[in-house]
Amino acid sequence: EPAVGGAMKKGSPPPPAAAGQLRIPGEAEEGILIGFKRYSGVLLTLDNCLLPDERLSRSPSAEQGLPMDVEEQLRKQGCELIQAAGILLRLPQVAMATGQILFQRFFYCKSFIRHCVENVAMACVHLASKIEEEPRRVRDVINVFHRLKQDRKCGVPAPLPLDGSYVNMKNQVIVAERRVLKELGFCVHVKHPHKIIVMYLQVLECEKNTQLVQTAW
């Protein structure tokens, strides 16, 4: 039975093999057989999205000796970068929130010590723009982060030269995006509370309270 995003529900029977496909004896019957290889389905449940307490209290970064306050600062910095980049890219707020959630999920799988915050943030922005059907080019994402870096250094804005460094950076972002997808098992579905917030404000007849609306959003 199809689930969200075309995934297969756990325990569902696999689809019948097409002509020319063979079933390998001894393999589990779950998933889809393509040629001689069996590919398992994608299971989307709350267990896949909600992190257990032990993972929240002991992240991969903490296990490698990174202090908790430093990790929290890096998480905030990454989310602020994603938000600022999304504004410059004119992305909707939902896309920026998706990128921030992907960023947080990734760094509960991998350590800040092993992976660059900026590269992962760029990858999450690019991936989130496609997930929320507001795609942006990798080049635009890199240019925006380059501009943000110049603003932090209080330097005169200058365009990013299209040299070997740019090509290397583009490849790093693409690799980082693939790594994010791999670590999250391609489960990038995010259920945002934004629509629910708007509904609650309307039910409470508070949609005209600008300060409350802005704070809640």
In total, the chain counts a number of residues equal to 217
Residue 153's pLDDT is what?
77
Q: Which residue shows structure tokens 């909707």?
A: 92
User: Judging by beta carbons within 10 Å of its beta carbon (0-12, 13-18, 19+), is residue 94 exposed, middle or buried?
Assistant: middle
For 53-74, the pLDDT digits (tens) are: 887 888 999 999 999 999 999 9
Helices (H), 89-163: 93-106, 117-131, 138-152
- Taking the mean position of all CA atoms in its chain, how far away is CA 214? 25
| Residue 24 one-letter amino acid | I
This prediction has a pTM of 0.74
In the chain the domains, ranked by start, together with CATH numbers, are 49-186 (1.10.472.10)
pLDDT, one tens digit for every residue, the chain (217 residues): 333 344 444 444 444 444 334 344 444 456 677 777 777 766 666 666 677 888 788 899 999 999 999 999 999 999 999 999 999 999 999 999 999 999 999 999 999 999 999 999 999 999 999 999 999 999 999 999 999 988 887 767 778 888 889 999 999 999 999 999 999 888 888 888 888 898 999 999 998 999 999 898 8
Residue-level pLDDT at 11: 46
Q: What is the structure's pLDDT at 33?
A: 77
Instruction: Give the tens place of pLDDT for each residue, 32-50.
Output: 777 777 777 666 666 666 7
Alpha-carbon distance of 151 to 145, in angstroms, equals: 10
Beta carbons within 8 Å of 86's beta carbon, 6+ residues apart: 93, 95, 96, 99, 125
